[in-house]
Structure formats: C-alpha cells, structure tokens
C-alpha cells in the first residue's frame, strides 16, 4: 500500500517555474520545482518571508499558472485546463486557509460555512446541517449565529477552517493559518486543524513560521534556490 501511495500522490508539482517581472527585472521564485503530497499526509512548508511560500501554495492550488511545468491533482494534469475548469477544481477539490480569515463580515459564522456549499449546489438545509456539524467539530458551534466582528481571532480562524473544508476537498492549503494569533490561541487553533485533517483523511500543505507546530506534521519542506527540498 505504501508503494502505491508513493506512485499516486494526491498532489504533484513537476518541473514548475514561476517568476514575476517588476521594473524590468525578473524575480525567479520557483525554478524546476518538484513536490509531491501523499494521500492523508500533513506537510509543513517552512521558509523565511519572501522565499516564495505563498507562490508555491497559489500555484499548487491553481490560483496562479506556472510559467512552465505542471500541477497534477488526483492524477489529473491541470496545465492545459481552461479558467472555468480550474475554478471548478478549486471550488470542489481544494480548500484554502489564509493568515487573515477573509470571512464575509455581513454573514454569520454559519452562513459563511454554508455559502461555498450552496455555490456547489447543495440545498440551504443540507448546507446548514453540514456547516453546524463542522462548527461544532471546531468547537465554535455555539457562536454559529454571530458575525465575524463578534468573534475572537481564534474563533474567526476556526470558522475559516470549517469553511475551507465545507466541500470535503481533496487537499487543504494553508498559508500561515496561525500567524496572526498569540501563541496560546495559535496552539489551540492548530490542535483543531490537526484533529480535523487527521480525522477526515485530508492531505494538507501548511506554510508556517512556527517550528514547534511544523514538528508535529508528517514531514517538513522548505524552498531553496527555487526548489522544494526536504528539511
């Protein structure tokens, strides 16, 4: 079984280049980068600011096109897909969590978790039931009717995590999900995130500066000279 998993990662980047052009200069972020995320694996991406963590996550999550190379999700090459096809994959198969929660301020916690499900086609009743289950699992169920401004930072981030997994994605990509939180709250939020990932069998790539949290994951990688390397 282990060999089969290694041959069939849920997410794979092959020979990926990504560069930006600013003021007539080329800034190379990824250069012939390879990366594989196995099914059910939780990987920490640890690198200093400016090293390209967000670029790697955005490319892996089909938010950005690589200049060269391919992103393969669940065995499907994504390099030649249309924008509509990429959007559908992001909506259904990839969950995103950012450093700032990006919850919609005019909606309650429950509604924020319902919205991506309803966009996918679930009925309001079914979406509300799953949203409440996820909020309960993240231990913010009693705050379901509250708007983001009425929630603490840790509660907001746990709602954001619930929203990210609402459509049962194949892969969860998180960019410094505890970066705006104090150490105690960060630990509590990460506990909830880790429990959710392990229980659901999700595959997760999580960028973090927190080496203590990174050490709890299955594997750690960093970015060096545009390539993804194991630590």
Strands, sheet with 171-175, edge to edge from the N-terminal-most edge strand: 94-97, 171-175, 203-207, 42-45, 219-224, 227-230
Residue 107 lies in a domain: yes
Q: Do residues 53 and 47 make contact, with C-beta atoms less than 8 angstroms apart?
A: yes
pTM: 0.88
Question: Are residues 215 and 22 in contact, defined by beta-carbon separation less than 8 angstroms?
Answer: no
Residue 3 belongs to a domain: no
Structure tokens at 220: 């750690």
How far apart CA 17 and CA 162 sit, in angstroms, is: 32
CATH of the domain at 110: 3.40.50.300
Range from 146-150, 188-192, 207-211 that averages highest in pLDDT: 146-150
Count of domains observed in the chain: 1
Pairwise CA distance, residues 4 & 7, whole Å: 5
Per-residue model confidence as pLDDT tens digits over 93-146: 999 988 777 899 999 999 999 999 999 899 999 999 999 999 998 889 999 999
**Assigned domain for 48 exists:** yes
Smallest CA-to-CA distance from 110 within 139, 143, 138, 137 is with 143
Helices (H), 50-146: 53-60, 83-93, 109-120, 124-137
Residue 2 maps to a domain: no
What is the distance of C-alpha 64 from the center of its chain? 14
| Confidence at residue 2, expressed as pLDDT on a 0 to 100 scale | 41
Report yes or no on 72 lying in a domain.
no
What is the helix (H) or strand (E) element at residue 203, kind and residue range? strand 203-207
Domain annotation covers residue 209: yes
Here the tokens at position 201 are: 């069998």
Residue 216 structural domain: 40-66+83-230
Q: What percent of the chain has pLDDT over 70?
A: 97
pLDDT at 66 over 50: yes
- Secondary structure element (H or E) that encloses residue 157, with its range: helix 153-164
């Amino acid at each position: 079984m282990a060999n089969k998993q290694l041959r069939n990662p849920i997410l794979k980047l092959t020979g990926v280049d990504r560069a930006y052009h600013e003021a007539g200069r080329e800034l190379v972020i990824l250069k012939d980068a390879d990366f594989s995320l196995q099914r059910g694996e939780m990987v920490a991406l640890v690198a200093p600011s400016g090293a390209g963590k967000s670029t790697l996550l955005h490319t892996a999550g089909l938010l950005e096109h690589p200049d060269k190379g391919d992103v393969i999700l669940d065995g499907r090459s994504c390099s030649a897909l249309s924008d509509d096809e990429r959007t559908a994959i992001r909506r259904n198969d990839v969950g995103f969590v950012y450093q700032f929660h990006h919850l919609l301020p005019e909606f309650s916690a429950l509604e924020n978790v319902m919205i991506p499900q309803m966009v996918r086609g679930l009925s309001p009743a079914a979406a509300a039931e799953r949203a409440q289950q996820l909020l309960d699992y993240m231990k913010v169920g009693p705050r379901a009717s509250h708007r983001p401004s009425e929630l603490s930072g840790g509660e907001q981030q746990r709602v954001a995590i619930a929203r990210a997994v609402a459509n049962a994605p194949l892969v969860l990509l998180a960019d410094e999900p505890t970066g705006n939180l104090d150490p105690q709250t960060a630990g509590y939020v990460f506990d909830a995130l880790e429990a959710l990932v392990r229980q659901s069998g999700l595959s997760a790539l999580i960028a973090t500066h927190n080496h203590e949290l990174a050490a709890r994951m299955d594997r750690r990688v960093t970015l060096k000279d545009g390539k993804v390397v194991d630590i």
